[in-house]
Amino acid sequence: MSSIQSQFLDIPSHHAKYGAIDPQGALKGSASGKVVFISGASRGIGQATAVAFAQAGARAIYITARSEGALQETCDLVRQANANTQCAFSTCDVTKADQVEAAIADCIAQFGGVDIADANAGFLGPWAKIGESDPEGWWKNWEVNLRGAYHVIRFALPHLIESAKKHEAEGQTGGHLIVMSSIGAQFLMPGASDYQTSKHAINRLVEFVQSDHGDDGIKCFAMHPGGVATDIGHAMPEHMHEYLVDEPDLAASFVVWLSSGQADWAKGRYLSANWDVEAILAMKDRILEDDLLVNRLRAKV
């Protein structure tokens, strides 16, 4: 919900792709030679992200979701964006470990590695107070949003580590992992306990990934994609729809920027696609010195 971003960083915000994160402009060629794995890429932000990486020169993009027809459409868009970018897909339910493992293995078999992984698949069910919630529906948010992200992380990590070491030896950057969070992780809204707690946990999981594998060269980020009018966005109560003002290409281009190496210093943190990247870069010293954009309990004494 981009109109309330200033509660977190008082910097300029955006609602659509702009010059500093344009995959065909400032980021042209930034994904050259890279293999990108994206879950939840059949439509919306995931689909836009696949196209953005193609525009940025990715060598190959491997996409997953549950709809084969929609995945084929995304691959067609990737090829239209860049005829030199290869694209392959498999149907996959991210809540099933064996399916995610098989998809990663197929990506490796076809393209030889994974340099960038984007855990984009997500879910949001009807909002309800805890005492009125459906137990299965409540837990599904955690199954898709957290367990699904964990599966992508778990099975992509060995290959991302290999990528990071390879690119470091060549004086480049690799091993990027982007996990879809939400500004909802920072709020306490009645009826949203399932979704918002699962996204809050995502932010902490990203910190653990960085703690466990930072020395392996991994650069992991939790990302709020903005308020986009996707199926998930429209699953919010109707009065929240006024915040769905951001274009999918904003989040997509921001993912490409995170994977370009310019934000490697901010690894392990929560970042919003709405935030102006030049303003973020200008705050680098303050963010690092004060350890901002991470989950912490701080009390004034």
Cβ 207 vs Cβ 248: under 8 Å = no
Q: Is 270 a catalytic residue?
A: no
Reported as a single tens digit per residue, the pLDDT across 61-74 is 999 999 999 999 99
Q: Please give the span between the terminal C-alpha atoms of the chain, in angstroms, as a whole number.
A: 33
Indicate if the pLDDT at residue 167 is higher than 90: yes
Which ranges of the chain does DSSP label H, i.e. alpha helix? 44-55, 68-81, 97-111, 135-142, 148-169, 193-213, 231-234, 248-258, 277-282, 284-289
Nearest to 188 by CA among 129, 241, 138: 129
Residue 91: strand pairing partners: 65
What is the per-residue pLDDT for 114? 98
Reported as a single tens digit per residue, the pLDDT across 82-130 is 999 999 999 999 999 999 999 999 999 999 999 999 999 999 889 999 9
CA 118, CA 255: separation in Å to the nearest integer?
8
Indicate if the pLDDT at residue 77 is higher than 80: yes
Nearest to 225 by CA among 199, 261, 188: 199
pTM of the model: 0.94
CA 207, CA 201: separation in Å to the nearest integer?
10
Indicate if the pLDDT at residue 7 is higher than 60: no
Residue with tokens 């998809």: 103
Q: Give the CA radius of gyration of the chain.
A: 18
* From 17, 34, 199, 267, active-site residue: 199
Average pLDDT of span 290-296: 92
* From 150, 195, 243, 270, active-site residue: 195
Reported as a single tens digit per residue, the pLDDT across 189-228 is 899 999 999 999 999 999 999 999 999 999 999 999 987 7
Tokens at residue 131, please? Answer: 């005492």
Q: Is 129 a catalytic residue?
A: no
Nearest to 152 by CA among 198, 101, 116: 101
Name the residue ranges covered by the structural domains of the chain.
Answer: 2-289
CA 237, CA 178: separation in Å to the nearest integer?
27
Q: What are residue 204's phi and psi, to 5 degrees?
A: -70, -40
Indicate if the pLDDT at residue 5 is higher than 50: no
What is the per-residue pLDDT for 184? 86
Which CATH homologous superfamily contains domain 2-289? NAD(P)-binding Rossmann-like Domain (3.40.50.720)
Name the DSSP letter for residue 147: I
